[in-house]
Amino acid sequence: MVMDTLQVRLSPGIVEKVDDLVETGIYANRSDVIRDAVRRLILDKLVGIIPNTGDSVKEVKEMRKKLSKEKFNLEAINKLAE
């Protein structure tokens, strides 16, 4: 899988904590720490949005399928950022 590269500026204290996690062996490298943190943030924001009917994997797959078929007005979306 090809991943995008993002540049992130962090305070020295946060970098130290990230390095501590790598040194303990919990994570292989800094990128793994950041990826896990972003995944956890996204999941945390989705809690309560995705209905819990007992089969969350199926629900997420259905939501992705629905979103992949929807037509989006990119011009209107881009105007939101102005």
Kindly state whether residue 4 falls inside one of the protein's structural domains.
no
Is 26 a member of any domain?
yes
Within 8 A by CB and 6+ apart from 36, the residues are 27
Domain hosting residue 46, numbered range: 12-80
pLDDT score recorded for residue 21: 93
Number of domains in the chain: 1
For range 1-19, the mean pLDDT: 91
Question: Does residue 1 form part of some domain?
Answer: no
Q: Does the residue 75 lie in any domain?
A: yes
C-alpha to C-alpha distance for 60 and 68, rounded to whole angstroms: 12
Would the pLDDT of 81 be above 90?
Answer: no
CA distance 27 to 20: 10
- Structural domain includes residue 25: yes
CA distance 28 to 46: 27
Strands (E) in the chain, as ranges, are none
20-53, pLDDT tens digit by residue? 999 999 899 999 999 999 888 887 777 666 666 6
Residue 3 included in any domain: no
Q: Does the pLDDT of residue 18 top 90, yes or no?
A: yes
Q: Which pLDDT does position 67 carry in this prediction?
A: 65
